[in-house]
Amino acid sequence: MAPSRTSTTSSSTALISQRNQEDLARSKTLHGHTFNDNHHQDSFLSKLNKKDRDFQPAVVDKYLDNWKEDRPELESEEDKAQRQTAYKAVANSFYDLATDFYEYAWGTSFHFCRFHPREPFHQAIARHEHYLAANMGIQPHHRVLDIGCGVGGPAREIGHFTGAHITGLNNNDYQIARAKRYAISAGLDKRSDFIKGDFMNMPIDDNSYDACYAIEATVHASTLEGVYGEAYRILKPGGVFGCYEWVMTDKYDPTNPEHLRIVRGLEVGNGIAQMLTVKDCLKALETVGFTIEKNMDMGETDDKIKWYYPLQGDIRQANAFWDYLTVLRTTTAGRAATTYMVKTLESLGLVAPGSAKVSTILQTAADAVLEGALLGIFTPMYFFVARKPLTASQ
């Protein structure tokens, strides 16, 4: 069962505060003027231009140092354990580097979804969020926690859809700043808030929320038992936890070198300490005390339009003008074109050094996602709804 939150010692509180201040200082240094809320509508290239030209290359190199071996089969258990211990810094650095690219190519909801014929991209993204909220039974009077909220796209959509108050928990200061500004623009600042915090050690009291959800976020945790245990702890008895989880499927073979190469691409390209499996996910939920009510791989369907079609680049599947732009930016050729463009501008001094390397990292990510999907060994949307028992004791 998840442990109860005891009173935090003054030394622990001071240490967390110090680390949070250091995170904020690093983020402000890296992003320069774009960290200011008033710059949230700057263009993609303008944001890259305003990054700190000395600091960004160092952040990129330090991030990549988390994977010391190119070949995963040569990696020591000590190296794996070290990366898991550093999960928070790995994810924080990744999103400091990747957020502007994500918004440029995908929008403000950083997740995949299923598609119906003639359904525009952003409508499908919203439906995917509505589906989660509806299956969780979120009501207008509920207090809801979004675990790993990104720049708040799902929090805004689910807030509009349900009328509930949504709190976004995020460890990345740049994304929090953007989420707050977007919430004001959407008229949701009175029904949402965003807090800094590690989802393995949430700065939240026991039994505080009616519901919580995570959309392709908890994959960044060092252990699923850790983050799921925190979700269990902060929920009221009877509270519900819904999730779309990144996992390797039962088709994944950890002794297959090709599968290992794809896993390495998923990890390096997405700031993930260690990819886990469906079995790991379900075991973790049961271990911390949840009752699993629904679970299924929403990526394993007979849909005519596959969830990964934007990465494949089948432009015939696009259903609206903006969909064509999304597909053109995210297909293999589009990703390569973005990297080439950024590399050219970097050589001309028009964007900060290190930008092209970030683009290359994200190319690796997309390639691994697509390869894993085509082989059926990976899904970004293992869906579950789990409930904390009414009789749960802390």
Domains of the chain: 14-394 (3.40.50.150)
Q: How far apart are CA 205 and CA 236, in angstroms?
A: 10
Whether the pLDDT of residue 39 is over 70: the answer is no
Is the Cβ–Cβ distance between 196 and 170 less than 8 Å? yes
Query: H/E/C letters for each residue in 219-265?
Result: HHCCCHHHHHHHHHHHEEEEEEEEEEEEEECCCCCCCCHHHHHHHHH
In this structure, what token pair is assigned to residue 318? 């696009």
Average pLDDT, the chain: 92
Greatest alpha-carbon pair distance for the chain in Å reads 64
Q: How far apart are CA 116 and CA 307, in angstroms?
A: 10
In angstroms, the first-to-last Cα distance of the chain is 8
- Coil, strand or helix at 31: helix
Residue 2 has a pLDDT of: 56
Is the Cβ–Cβ distance between 110 and 153 less than 8 Å? yes
Whether the pLDDT of residue 210 is over 80: the answer is yes
pTM above 0.85, yes or no: yes
Residue with tokens 């519900």: 240
Cβ neighbours of residue 102 closer than 8 Å, sequence gap 6 or more: 110
Whether the pLDDT of residue 333 is over 50: the answer is yes
Average pLDDT, integer, range 268-282: 97
Whether the pLDDT of residue 177 is over 90: the answer is yes
Residue 96 has a pLDDT of: 96
Using alpha carbons, select from 193, 228, 198, 226 the residue that is nearest to residue 212.
Answer: 228
In this structure, what token pair is assigned to residue 28? 């402000």
